[in-house]
Amino acid sequence: MSIVVTGATGHLGRFVIEGLLEKVPADQITAVVRSEEKAAGFAARGVKIAIADYNAPETFDSVFSAGDKVLLISGNEFDKGRVGQHKVVLEAAKAAGVALLAYTSAPGGLTAALADDHKGTEQAILESGVTYALLRNGWYNENYTENLAPVLEYSAVTQAAGEGKVASAARADYAAAAVAVLTGEGHENKTYELAGDTAWSFAEYAAEVAKQSGKEIGYNPVSVEVFTGILVGAGLPEALAATLAGVDASIEKGELAGVTGDLSRLTGRPTTPIAESIAAALKG
Share of the chain above pLDDT 90, in %: 95
What is residue 51's predicted lDDT score, i.e. its pLDDT? 96
Q: How confident is the model at residue 259 (pLDDT cuts 50, 70, 90)?
A: very high
| 79 has a pLDDT exceeding 90 | no
Q: For residues 11 and 5, what is the distance between their CA atoms, to the nearest angstrom?
A: 13
| 78 has a pLDDT exceeding 80 | no
What is residue 1's predicted lDDT score, i.e. its pLDDT? 84
Amino acid at 141: N
Residue 150 CB neighbours (<10 A): 13
Q: Are 220 and 156 in contact (CB under 8 A)?
A: yes
- pLDDT 10s digits, 47-72: 999 999 999 999 999 999 999 999 99
Tell me what the pLDDT averaged over the chain comes to. 96
Q: How confident is the model at residue 81 (pLDDT cuts 50, 70, 90)?
A: confident
What is residue 84's predicted lDDT score, i.e. its pLDDT? 94
- pLDDT 10s digits, 119-169: 999 999 999 999 999 999 999 999 999 999 999 999 999 999 999 999 999
What is residue 40's predicted lDDT score, i.e. its pLDDT? 96
Query: Would you give the DSSP letter of residue 147?
Result: T
Q: Are 79 and 55 in contact (CB under 8 A)?
A: no
What is residue 109's predicted lDDT score, i.e. its pLDDT? 95
What sign has the CA pseudo-torsion 222, 225, 228, 234?
negative
Q: How confident is the model at residue 75 (pLDDT cuts 50, 70, 90)?
A: confident
What is residue 87's predicted lDDT score, i.e. its pLDDT? 96
- pLDDT 10s digits, 163-199: 999 999 999 999 999 999 999 999 999 999 999 999 9
Which 3-state string (H, E, C) describes 184-237?
CCCCCCEEEEECCCCCEEHHHHHHHHHHHHCCCCEEEECCHHHHHHHHHHCCCC
| 108 has a pLDDT exceeding 90 | yes
Q: Is 192 left (phi over 0), alpha (psi -120 to 50) or beta?
A: beta
Q: Please report, for residues 65, 96, 180, 278, the alpha-carbon distance to residue 282 in angstroms, rounded to integers and kept in the order given.
A: 44, 45, 30, 6
